[in-house]
């Protein structure tokens, strides 16, 4: 059973009991996933922008948007309008497919992975995960990559606090490590 169907049929009622919510529509849900990739050396390395766009499109199944510098920054040798990153926002079916791939295929491939920590919640139930290398995604062949790039994934939920977001992601199968309090 795919993750979205399992969430609607089984997990919503379990989460309602866990969180003490009487209305099933008040149970937290994922609303979108944002995938960001920085392009620090795009100006010096020819073709890095195109290669990064292609890799991020393969990872997410959607064409990324180019993020440009809003103003000049002389300390960073950056001019207004230069590309500094890529971003993709996933919603609906693509969001659920990406989340399932993240939990089942990507996180188990990360070297020395012992679970995710709870410290990456933002106080509003949203969770961010950073990757040093984008080669842990099955769509990327490590032998064909010229430059290793990191990326950040933010899972945005409609939970109002971190505990609701944590319970939601835990129910969806996100592997959190047990932390001694």
- What phi and psi values does residue 28 have, to the nearest 5 degrees? -60, 145
> Which residue, 177, 176, 154, is CA-closest to 30?
154
pTM: 0.89
For residue 117, give both structure tokens.
Answer: 């920590």
β-strand partners of 176 = 116
For residues 93 and 7, what is the distance between their CA atoms, to the nearest angstrom? 13
Question: Which domains are present in the chain?
Answer: 3-19+28-170 (3.30.1440.10)
- How many other CB atoms sit within 10 Å of the CB of residue 101? 18
**Confidence (pLDDT) at 138:** 83
Give 51's contacts (C-beta < 8 A, 6+ positions apart). 146, 147
pLDDT tens figures, 101-129 = 999 888 888 887 888 888 889 989 999 99
Per-residue pLDDT of 8-33, as tens digits, reads 899 999 999 988 888 888 899 999 99
């Amino acid at each position: 059973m795919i993750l979205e169907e399992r969430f609607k049929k089984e997990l919503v009622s379990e989460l309602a009991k866990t969180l003490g919510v009487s209305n099933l529509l008040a149970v937290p849900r994922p609303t979108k996933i944002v995938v960001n990739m920085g392009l620090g050396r795009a100006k010096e390395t020819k073709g890095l922008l195109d290669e990064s766009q292609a890799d991020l499109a393969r990872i997410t199944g959607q064409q990324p948007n180019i993020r440009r510098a809003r103003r000049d920054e002389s300390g960073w040798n950056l001019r207004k309008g230069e590309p500094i990153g890529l971003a993709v926002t996933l919603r609906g079916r693509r969001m659920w497919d990406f989340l399932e791939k993240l939990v089942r295929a990507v996180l188990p491939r990360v070297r020395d992975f012992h679970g995710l920590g709870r410290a990456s919640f933002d106080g509003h139930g949203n969770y961010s995960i950073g990757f040093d290398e984008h080669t842990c995604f099955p769509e990327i062949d490590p032998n064909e990559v010229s430059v290793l790039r990191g990326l950040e994934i933010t899972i945005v939920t409609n939970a109002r606090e971190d505990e609701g977001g944590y319970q939601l992601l835990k129910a969806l199968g996100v592997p959190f490590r047990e932390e001694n309090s």
